[in-house]
Structure 1
Amino acid sequence: MQQISLLLLRISLGWLLVIWGADKVFNVEHGMAVANKFYFGFLAAESALQGAGVLQMLVGLAVVVGFARRWVYPLQVLFNSASLLAVAKSVLDPWGWVFSGSNALFYPSLIIFAASLLLIAFRAEDRWVLERA
């Protein structure tokens, strides 16, 4: 059960990065809107956004297959912590009682961040990975 759980966690978290990265590459207008709204315009240039999207997809694919985990897991935590910080008011106040513009749908950013840390914590126990093949 542990191996199945770690595999599902790795696939779902990695694929989330692939989806987010692909959005930056193939739906540039949406990526720009997200960068401007949540990330203070960081990477809000088409080429920078698309480059970041490609990197994010590569990291996501490496997470999915369990390749170079010592390097890609911390990068995954970095990506997910940036997302968590961007929607922090929605995590702290999901119903908008204190912060206007909060959205309960962003609360899972905290769960995604915690799951990313779990992959690092249980890296040695995860045996169904490419780098062990």
Structure 2
Amino acid sequence: MKTWTLLFLRVSLGWLLVIWGADKVFNVEHGMAVANKFYFGFLAAENALRVAGALQILVGLAVVVGFARRWTYPVQVLLNGASLLAVMQSVIDPWSWVFQGSNALFYPSLIIFAGSLLLIAYRDEDRLVLDRA
């Protein structure tokens, strides 16, 4: 059961990176709006956003298939950690009782980050991967 659960977690988290990366590549306007609203304009240039999106897709695909996990899992944690920090107000106060403009739909960012850490913690027990020795 653990083998299949780790596979499911890895595929779902990796595919999330692919989806977010593809959004940056193919829906640049949305990517720019997200960068400006949540990331202080970081990468809010079309070419930079497309390159970042393509790299994010590659990392996501590597996570999905379990390739270069010693490198891709920490990158995944950094990317998901940045997303968590960007919406932390909504994690702390999902119903806007304290912070204006919070959104309960961003709470899963905490769960995504926890799952990313879990993949690192159980990396040696994940069997259905490409880079297994």
Common topology (TM > 0.5): yes
**TM-score normalised per structure 2:** 0.99
Question: Cα RMSD (Å) of the superposition?
Answer: 0.7
Superposed, which structure 2 residues align to 1:2-17 within 5 Å? 2-17=2-17
SS of the residue aligned with 1:14?
helix
- Residue of structure 2 in register with 1:81 after alignment: 81
Superposed CA deviations along residues 76-126 of structure 1, whole A, max 9, x for unmatched, are: 000000000000000000000000010000000000000000000000000
Distance 2:132 2:121 in 1: 17
SS of the residue aligned with 1:61?
helix
Distance 2:55 2:89 in 1: 27
- Residue of structure 1 in register with 2:122 after alignment: 122
**Structure 2 stretches of 5 or more lacking a match?**
none
- Residue of structure 1 in register with 2:38 after alignment: 38
- Residue of structure 2 in register with 1:47 after alignment: 47
Superposed, which structure 2 residues align to 1:99-114 within 5 Å? 99-114=99-114
Number of positions where the alignment pairs a residue of Structure 1 with one of Structure 2? 133
Identical positions, percent: 81
Distance 1:132 1:93 in 2: 41
- Residue of structure 2 in register with 1:63 after alignment: 63
Distance 2:111 2:97 in 1: 21
Moved over 4 A (4+): none
**TM-score normalised per structure 1:** 0.99
CA deviation after TM superposition for structure 1 residue 132, in Å: 1.9
SS of the residue aligned with 2:131?
helix
Superposed CA deviations along residues 23-70 of structure 1, whole A, max 9, x for unmatched, are: 000000000000000000000000000110001000000000000000
**Structure 1 stretches of 5 or more lacking a match?**
none
